[in-house]
Structure 1
Amino acid sequence: MGNVEFTDNRIKVEAALNDAIVAFLYEVAVEVEAQTKIAQTRVDTGHTKGEWTHYVDEDKGEAVIGNPRENAIWEEYGTGEYALKKNGRKGGWWAPVGPDGMSLKQASKFSKVKKDKAGNIVAVFTYGKKPLRPLQKAFDKTKSKIIKRLGSILNQTFSE
């Protein structure tokens, strides 16, 4: 037999694969974040909608899309009797209006309200908030596109 020379390219292949995956994670995170902002339909102040963001942990090979606002959890999963897993508070409750509660704009939509002596709404009666699922909707909308894009990136990476 003739001489066969073996070249170990594992390090180059692993590096190319890692670079491709990291690029993919950034691309996908930006897309899902953008779609989440679009899917968020209930807007009063715009704070929740405007604070969706993403983070890519290159070492772990993962992307996280999230929102620091507590309201984002309520928008995703609902509250009270409308909670997605049916584990919310039952029977309704009085929710405060003002700096530590909902805005006057939101409160004006409720029919059962408490007012102070000056006639200002200070609380509203609610059975909860229906879930909008903006993050889930964004993922569902982009899922097939994400899968195709990963295939495209990997094909591009290893066809060179």
Structure 2
Amino acid sequence: MKKVMLSVAIIATMSLVSCKNETKKETTITEQTITKQVASTQTTFGVRGNCEMCKNTIEKAVNSIDGVTSAEWDKLKKQINVSYDESKTNLNAIHKAIANSGYDTDKVMGSESAYKNLPACCKYDHEMEMSLKGEVKEDENSNH
């Protein structure tokens, strides 16, 4: 009987030591976890274009830049909304990427050679207005 009680006491003591070590390990792991937040800058500016193919090309050009987290071009308003990390890229690089793909922005004229290689439906009017305000109907811009 003494042997059984002694065995139970030893097993119970080992369990307590084991539990304490596991708790200690969890605390150490929790203390080592570090969360890094990335600062994001958002901007909107004008970009000329006509159709869904334009949208794909413009957004692809912007999203190819390291540091850009999102880009969405609005076909009707002729503007793009971009979120990016300023520690990795800047607004000029974004304008240049769009221009290199053949599209005018409100700061940089599109590359003429890239423009010539755009599909016929993407050949926009170089005088069209950008960053249109308010509600825009598709019919108002379809003949540009």
Task: Calculate the TM-score normalised by the size of structure 1.
Answer: 0.28
Work out which of the two has the higher radius of gyration on C-alpha atoms and give 1 or 2.
2
Task: Calculate the TM-score normalised by the size of structure 2.
Answer: 0.30
